[in-house]
Amino acid sequence: MAEPAALQGLVIAAHGRHYDVEIDGDGHRQCYTRGKKAGPAVGDRVRVRPEGRQEGVILDILPRRNLFYRSDAQRSKQFAANIDQLLLVLAPEPEFSEDLTGRALVAAASAGVPALIVLNKADLPGAAAARARLATVESLGTPVIMLSALDMDQVRTLLGPRLRDRLTLLLGQSGMGKSTLLNALVPEALAATRAHSEALGTGRHTTTRTQRYALPGGGGLIDSPGFQAFGLQHLSAHDIEQGFPEFARPIAECRFYNCTHRHEPGCGVLAAVERGDVRAERHALYMRILAENEAARRY
């Protein structure tokens, strides 16, 4: 008996090695992968071999425009593929981490994905100070929008036009109000989450599921679990360098073509740090990421 013809579809939810795939013109199938190779991410288009009435095996991943993920010595976490932009949710309370924020923006830059920051809980007393902490990344071209996710009209007015007709990855540290923002943008998100959780057998309140939602005005939003670490061990030294746009001009002044911008004489980046043209804390972040990746390769 011949195998059924492979179908194509879009991965719209993922939990471990279980995936909800929206099959082109043919509803949904609950799919899984075989082997140990990296599986698909939400946003991937895939080929599926049908099994039974509602299941399937993912055979392969169709070519991607991009893949946004983090990685450390233990494991990597794929957030999403084929996205148009990153929406990073921060807040004054609990205090967001500038280190993690910087790492997420480096990952976005290396993947060629534009980023947008939402500073949530704008009604809290510490909001102005939190905005001041974002002055450097804002001056480098990352827009910052202040709002309260509890104000649904404000969310739709300020964010709606920036999300329309785009696939956006929603990302944030735990406690930043990401779920509140999601529910303001996609009112049926809670019901959709429950349906996908039951289909994937993951339980209602799982924190490890990644899921895509259709936005009412067009476009899509991919919600991912909150994070407390953001390793970048999949990036080369050149990729890391590209994640710091303020380095671009001073790099042209480096004496050596293979300058690492750490200790070399005649380094344009170090000179820019001395002049104050490159913030010392940004250069320190660059050094930390580089050192972590080099240490991981040694071991």
The three-class DSSP label of residue 173 is strand
Count the residues in the chain.
299
For the residues 267-292, what does the mean pLDDT come to?
A: 96
What's the Cα-to-Cα distance from 150 to each of 91, 179, 187, 218, 284, rounded to whole Å?
Answer: 13, 11, 12, 22, 36
Q: Estimate the crossing angle of helix 178-185 against helix 152-163, to 10 degrees.
A: 80
Q: For 225-264, what is each residue's pLDDT tens digit?
A: 888 889 999 899 999 999 999 999 999 999 999 999 999 9
Q: For 100-137, what is each residue's pLDDT tens digit?
A: 999 999 999 988 999 999 999 999 999 999 999 999 99
C-beta separation of 205 from 104 below 8 A: no
- Report d(CA 69, CA 80) in Å as an integer: 7
- Report d(CA 260, CA 276) in Å as an integer: 19
- Report d(CA 100, CA 87) in Å as an integer: 14
Neighbours of 254 (CB within 10 A): 19
- Report d(CA 181, CA 145) in Å as an integer: 13
pLDDT at res. 194: 53
β-pair partners for 115: 86
- Report d(CA 238, CA 261) in Å as an integer: 11
Please, where are the H alpha helices in the chain? 98-110, 127-133, 135-139, 152-163, 178-185, 189-200, 237-242, 248-251, 268-275, 280-298
* DSSP code, position 245: G
Q: For 153-197, what is each residue's pLDDT tens digit?
A: 999 999 999 999 999 999 998 889 998 999 999 987 764 555 555
Q: For 32-42, what is each residue's pLDDT tens digit?
A: 998 777 789 99
Supply the Cα-derived Rg of the chain in whole angstroms. 21
SS (H, E, C) 28-76: EEEEECCCCCCCCCCCCEEEEEEECCCEEEEEEECCCCCEEEEECCCCE
The three-class DSSP label of residue 89 is strand
pLDDT band at 208 (very low <50, low <70, confident <90, very high): low
Q: For 41-76, what is each residue's pLDDT tens digit?
A: 999 999 999 998 899 999 999 999 999 988 876 677
Q: Is 137 exposed, middle or buried (0-12, 13-18, 19+ CB in 10 A)?
A: buried
**Average of per-residue pLDDT values in the chain:** 89
Q: Does residue 234 come out as left (phi exceeding 0), alpha (psi in the -120 to 50 range) or beta? A: alpha
